[in-house]
A and B are shown apart, each in its own frame.
Chain A
Amino acid sequence: MPAADSFICRERRLTITLFVVGALLALSGVGSLMLGAVYIQPFDAIRGLAPGGEDFDRLVVWQIRTPRFFDAMLVGAALSTAGALLQSVTRNPLADPTILGISASSGLVIAIVLVLSGNPSDTQLALAGIGGGLVGAATILYIAWGGVVSPLRLTLAGVALAAFFSAAIVALLASSRTFLEINLGFLVGGLYGSEWREVRAIAPWILPALVGAQLLSGRLNVLALGDDIAASLGVLTDRTRVMTLALVGVLTGTAVSVAGLVSFVGLVSPHLARYAVGSDQRRMLPASMLIGALLVATADLAARVVLQPSELPMGILTAAIGAPFLLYLLKVRI
């Protein structure tokens, strides 16, 4: 890169990226309000956003589609940020909460709570997910301590963890009299039945965690130089790693508690963000967050529309985008 690729130029790339992704996200939002099993005219969709009234447009737009869009954005932002933090802290381009088994360990604790309690509240589910996410993140931390594990070894360890936890989830749900149809949405990931209740339960966890990730971004930049250099620059490497993985656990756990095991969002978004704005965490994290929100919101819109009035689990669509992307990374980048 020429020297002219200055700080200002990179700042401009961030602005442009945020603007473009933000505009696409707004477009996806408008689409999410208008499209679905029933088509709602743009004007009626806007009217549905205005408070008052219990008519059809208001019910569908405000009680069904708006909370679902917010859920999708929160889940996307959480998973993509979790993926970006993981890729950074493990120095592993293949890191992702699903691939490393953190989603599955969240899912396992959620499944245990579901089976034991029958009808847990959204907050209880979010807490269960966070608990499971922290366990999964701690396991990865243990395996990858010091950041010297090769990417493929860490990935394979994650695959083993994910397979183990997923098998435990299936075993638990299969032996528990809950209907198989319900489980599919959880195992593949989907947002059917999102309500404001859920948004209110997860936002208080996800939003502060997203801010926390931004605050850590400077230290993560230093950590990327290697432990010795980071230590010599005054960064407490171990503490940074622990805090980062704790954030990963919180973000992944809350996302899984509403959307189930949505895969690949945390893998794809950070790579796209890095491509757009470079690898400086301070710019990469916000871009990745917005790209993740766009990805999940759009995948969820498609999931609702393609089979209407039935719907696909949204996770199928993120996997359809993410799996080829992983193959591309394995072939070209690793």
Chain B
Amino acid sequence: MLLVAGAVLVGACTSDDDGVDATAAPIDAPAAATATSEATAAATDTPAPTAETTEVPAFPRTVTDMLGREVVIESVPLKVVAISPSAVEYVYAVGGEIVGRSASVAYPAAAAQAEDVGSAYQPSIESILALEPDLIVADSVIHGSQPQLRATIEGLPVPVIFAGAESYDDVLVGITLLGEVYDAADVAAALIKEIEAALVAARAALEGTEVSAVALIADRDQSLYGAKSSSFVGGLMERVGILNPAAYQPDAGPFPGYTLLAPELLLQYDPTLIFTITPAPEPAPRLNTLIPQIPPFRGLSAVTSERVIELDLEVFLQAPGPRVLDALNALREIVAE
């Protein structure tokens, strides 16, 4: 165990070096994580415990997950089943690996190779158990909001932690939590530092300008919903300093954190930028190509200046988590233009 802790420190240094300059090309968090696990393997081969390793509290340790539950982690988990895209990404962000995942997980590529255990909303409990995991990482948002499913998952004879994200702050909490679970506090701290630097850089890019934007998703009837500040993307926009006229609209429509946006309101807002997110898979047209085709929207500033921008579906909507780094870098690049 000490060896692993030592190795994790090596890994942390690696990602730290890469991430000193936050305005440089965005660092791929999972790449750092991969480096970490390689370092882990290398260091395990050559036992070289350093003085620092003794400072890390030994296992078993008790962690508090994102639903406020105290969970005892016996040792660094080796066979992990993560049942939402966010949960999977947290594990990889601190150098872990998984043996099972929810159906839609496609990132990171290594995770896609893991066993499919059914959709995040209806995971197959028997598939999870069949993998004989030593830890289940469930989603504090998806499963925390379904009392019966949550009770079922908690009742399994396997330790469970809940980690998810509804906001920027949640992501940092989640990374820290997984850092404790994996005895990789340094990797977690380095990644958090990187994310915080990316936020600073994005804010700096906006300095002295006033940019307003709405972030839109559309349902199958093409009704438009605007992200409020309580949504993940809306929260990021607020952090970065983008003015969002829909931020504090009342709740309307089925999507938590989004409000049904009447076309008139969009015309009234006339934001500098329009972000779009399209949940429907290709070849469905992206929402940013549809907006300019809607006649009343042709006069919008964002349409005439061709600043209707499609955001990455996973990073901004489906898998809120450590890739908030990519999200912040993307926002920085957009507002820097």
Contact = CB atoms under 8 A, between A and B. Distances in A.
Interface of A: 36-38, 54, 56, 59-60, 64-65, 118-119, 173-182, 185, 192-193, 195, 308-311
Contacts of A178: 145
Given A38-B126, A193-B152, A310 B132 contact: no
B122 A179 contact: no
B327 interface: no
24 contacts: A37-B130, A38-B130, A59-B157, A60-B129, A60-B130, A64-B125, A119-B147, A174-B254, A175-B254, A177-B254, A179-B121, A179-B145, A179-B146, A180-B254, A181-B119, A181-B121, A181-B122, A182-B146, A308-B118, A308-B124, A309-B103, A309-B118, A309-B124, A310-B103
Main secondary structure, interface of A, reads: loop
Contacts of B118: 37, 308-311
A310 B156 CA distance: 19
Nearest to A310: B118
Main secondary structure, interface of B, reads: loop
Interface string B245-266: 0000001011010000000000
Contacts of A181: 119, 121-122
| Most chain B CB neighbours (cut-off 10 Å) among A60, A310, A311 | A310
B129 A59 contact: yes
B268 interface: no
B256 A36 contact: no
Given A37-B127, A309-B116, 10 more contacts: A54-B157, A59-B129, A60-B125, A174-B253, A181-B119, A181-B121, A193-B148, A193-B152, A309-B117, A310-B119
Contacts of A38: 126-127, 129-130
A243 B253 CA distance: 41
Contacts of B122: 181, 185, 192-193, 310-311
Contacts of A59: 129, 156-157
A62 to B, nearest CB: 12
Interface residues of B, number: 27
B149 interface: yes
A59 B156 CA distance: 9
A185 B116 CA distance: 20
A195 B129 contact: no
B124 A310 contact: yes
Contact of B149 (A118, A193, A308): A193
B78 to A, nearest CB: 18
Interface in B250-296: 251, 253-254, 256
Interface string B105-131: 000000000001111011011110110
A310 B101 CA distance: 12
A253 to B, nearest CB: 19
Contacts of A54: 157
Contacts of B253: 174-175
A185 B122 CA distance: 10
Given A193-B152, A309-B117, A310-B124, A177 B129 contact: no
Nearest to B132: A56
Nearest to A56: B129
A56 B254 contact: no
| Most chain A CB neighbours (cut-off 10 Å) among B121, B132, B152, B156 | B121
Interface string B13-57: 000000000000000000000000000000000000000000000
